[in-house]
Amino acid sequence: MYQYILFDLDGTLTDPKIGITSCVQYALRKMGIEEPDLDKLEPFIGPPLTDSFREFYEMDEENAAQAVRYYRERFSTVGLFENQVYPGIPEMLEELKRAGKRLAIASSKPTVFVKKILEHFEICQYFDVIVGSELDGTRSRKEEVVEEALRQLLPEKETEKYPDGNGGFDKAVVMVGDRKFDVEGAIEHGIASVGVAYGYAAEGELAEAGADYVVETVEELAKVLTAG
């Protein structure tokens, strides 16, 4: 049975589409690129921003870094609140806490923004540990975020049992997320993974990445996490 549960934020607990895509659109415009269709910017939800600007708009490192700065101009004051918690999430988190589970956030979004979002939507109290990336771009890879979340969430005596990350946690710890990056981060550290198909993964992405379970709804997710 799962005792330690790591959650991604965007596309897993909240639907951030309007905020993220509008801020990407803003950053692109400041870089001289017009993209009127917010739907085309959905792939920015999940992976590190720098990687996305480089991959989708062929920016070099310097321009990608500038685009991220423009993105944060809008996101830090407006975009982070253009967001909504998926129906049923607060009730699920409360149920898990009542059952004695220890919960963590493991997000590629900067920690300062993660905390503001959780506090704004009044779900911060459910999490024992909150881990995100740093504003300077460090710890942005999901593998790094999961590693730090595990370090903080699990007692020292538990982490010492499995120092090489080759398994052992899988029956007690699970990572929940909506993109392949979440699944890959879980696999890297030998823990189980649940992919949520109601988020922003492409069709088949989560199963192809190796998720142990793929769920279609929050209700189904709650059953998997409760049953383990």
Active site residues: 8
**Polymer length of the chain:** 228
Distance CA 37, CA 23 (A): 13
Residue type, 147: E
User: Across the strands, what pairs with 177?
Assistant: 195
Using alpha carbons, select from 70, 78, 76 the residue that is nearest to residue 24: 70
Q: Which residues neighbour 144 within 8 Å (Cβ) at sequence distance 6 or greater? A: none
- 168 within 8 A of 151, measured Cβ to Cβ: no
Phi then psi for residue 83, to 5 deg, are -160, 160
- 92 within 8 A of 221, measured Cβ to Cβ: yes
Distance CA 106, CA 129 (A): 9
Distance CA 68, CA 51 (A): 10
Looking up tokens 């685009």 gives 67
Displacement of CA 173 from its chain's centroid (Å): 16
